[in-house]
A and B are shown apart, each in its own frame.
Chain A
Amino acid sequence: MAEAKEPNPEFTRKVIDAGGKTVNLCFQCGTCTGSCPSGRQTAFRVRKVVRRAQLGFEEDVLPSEDLWLCTTCYTCYERCPRGVEIVDIIMALRNMAVRKGYMAESHRKVAELISKTGHLVSLRDEDKVLRKKLGLHDVPPTVFAHAQALEEVKKIAALCGFDKLVATGGKS
C-alpha cells in the first residue's frame, strides 16, 4: 500500500509570505486546469501545482517542469470560483525555485541580457538603420542612450542580489 506523504505547513507558509496568500482557498474543483491553454497541449495540470503548494510538497513542486509551462495568461485566475490568485502562487513558487538553482539556461541568458543592458532584446546595427529610415532616433532614448541610467538599473540588480542570481543561476 502506498504511504501518504505528510503535509508540510512550513513550506505552505513560505508560499503565502512570498505572495501566494490565497493558496488555502482552493478546493480543487479543476476549473483552472479545464481553462488552461498550456494544459491542452501538455501534461501540465495547474490544479496539481496548487495542491502541492497547499500541502507543502516542496520537493514535488519546486523542481517540476510543470511550474514553467504556465504562460501567465490569467484565464484560471479569472475563472476560479474561490478567488484563488493562481498566477501569484505560481510566481511565488518560481521565485523560490530559481533561488534553489532550478533555472533553465535559456532563462538565465534572458536574465543576463536585462542585467547587462537594461533591455530584454539587443540593439543590432540593422535595427539602427531601420529606425533611422523610419524617422526615429537610431538609438532609442532609453538606457541604450544614457549610460548613467543603465548604471542605475545595474545598481538595483546588485541591491536585490539579482546580479548574483544571474551569474550562478541560483546554484550556490
Chain B
Amino acid sequence: MSKYAFFLGCIMPLRYPGIESASREVFKSLGVELVDMQGASCCPAPGVMRSFDQTYWMAVAARNLAIAEKMGVEGVVTICNGCFDTLFEVAHKLNHDPDQRKKINKILKDATGMEYNGTVHVRHFVELLYRDVGVEAIRAKVKAGKNMKAAVHYGCHFLKPSNIKKIDDSERPHVFDDIVEAAGMTSVVYKDKGMCCGAGGGVRARTPDVALKMTAENLKNMTAAGVDVIVDCCPFCHLQYDVGQVQLKEYKIPVLHLSQLLGLAFGLEREKLGLEVHQTKVNLPT
C-alpha cells in the first residue's frame, strides 16, 4: 500500500466534507493510504492570495510542504486544483531558484523552526489515479456504474501551466475523461470544454457577476450537449457550479467531484458522499 500525506485545503473539509469522506474511502479501496497532515493550513490559494503577496504565499506553502516532508511518505496528494497549483508551483520555484529558496527558508525557519528541503513530490489525485493506480484497476472496482453523460470539467490549475506540470496536453487532455469512462460513464464533447469555471484569480470574491457569466457560458454549452452530470476535480470549481446554478436559476445539472463519482461507482453508501449539502440537488438518472 502506498502512503501519501493528504492535504485538505479549505473548501473541501469545510463546505463539501462529503468529498473528503469519499476521497478517503476511494483511495483506501484502491490501495493508497492517506495520512493526515497535522497543523497544515490553507495552501494558500494561487489566484487570490498569490495576487496579494507572493513572498507570503510561498512561505506559507513552504510550511505545508515542510510538514509533508517530515512525514516519511511518498508525497503529498490533494483533490483540489488550487491547492495543487500552489504546492506544485511553489515547490518548483524553490527547487529551481536557490536565492528564492534561501529567502523563503529564512522566513520559514524564523517562524517555525522548519525548512523546506525539496524532497516532497506534489501529486494531484487525478494524475495519481491515472499514472499510479491505473484506469484498469479503477474499472475493476466498479460495481454500480451508471451510464450517464458526463461533462468533465478539468478546471485550470490541474494541467496548467503545462510547461512545469507535464501531466497531459492542456488543449486536448484525456486523463480525467479516461477515468470517468472507466467508471462506466460517457464523457461527452461540449463546446469550449476546458474553459475556466469563472471563480479563480479572486474574480469570484471581487466581481461575482463576472465569474457567474463565465459559469453560465459553460452551463449553456454543457446543456446543449445534453449532459446528465458535471464532474469536476476541484472543490472551488465544484462550488462555483453548485452555487452558481442556484444563482442563475435556469440550470439544474447535478455536480459531482470525481471522488464522489467514484464513490458512487464503487458502491459506497450514498450517506458517505455528503450529497445533501449540494445546493443544486443531486438527482441522478437511474
Interface residues of A (CB under 8 A from B): 18-19, 37-38, 40-42, 68-75, 77-78, 85, 87, 91-92, 94-95, 98, 103-104, 106-107, 110-111, 114, 118-124, 127, 130-131, 133-136, 140-143, 145-146, 148-150, 152-153, 155-157, 159-162, 165
- Interface residue? B33 (CB, 8 A): no
Judge whether B56 and A143 touch: CB under 8 Å: no
At the interface with chain A, which of B68-76, B107-115, B124-132, B250-258?
B107-115
Complexed CA–CA distance, A47 and B281 (Å): 40
Task: Tell which of B13, B38, B206 touches A107, judged by Cβ atoms closer than 8 Å.
Answer: B206
Judge whether B214 and A120 touch: CB under 8 Å: no
Judge whether A38 and B210 touch: CB under 8 Å: yes
Nearest first, the 5 closest Cβ-Cβ pairs linking A and B are A149-B39, A74-B160, A155-B111, A73-B196, A72-B201
B46 partner residues in chain A, CB cutoff 8 A: 72
Judge whether A152 and B17 touch: CB under 8 Å: no
Q: Mark B193-206, 1 if CB is under 8 A from A, else 0.
A: 01110111111011
Closest chain-B Cβ to A61's Cβ sits at a distance in Å of 14
Closest to B204 in A: A71
Complexed CA–CA distance, A133 and B20 (Å): 12
Judge whether A156 and B63 touch: CB under 8 Å: yes
Judge whether B56 and A162 touch: CB under 8 Å: yes
Interface residues of B (CB under 8 A from A): 8, 10-11, 13-15, 17-18, 20-21, 24, 36-42, 44-56, 59-60, 63, 107-108, 110-112, 156-157, 160-162, 170-171, 194-196, 198-203, 205-207, 210-211, 213-214, 217, 271-272, 274, 277
Closest chain-A Cβ to B210's Cβ sits at a distance in Å of 6
Judge whether B41 and A149 touch: CB under 8 Å: yes
Complexed CA–CA distance, A121 and B80 (Å): 14
Known pairs A72-B47, A121-B15; A141 contacts B110 (CB<8 A): no
Closest chain-A Cβ to B77's Cβ sits at a distance in Å of 15
A94 partner residues in chain B, CB cutoff 8 A: 51-52
Given contacts A74-B161, A162-B53, list 17 more A-B pairs with CB under 8 A.
A38-B196, A38-B198, A72-B47, A73-B196, A107-B206, A114-B44, A120-B42, A121-B15, A122-B14, A127-B17, A131-B13, A134-B271, A136-B21, A142-B13, A146-B38, A149-B40, A160-B56
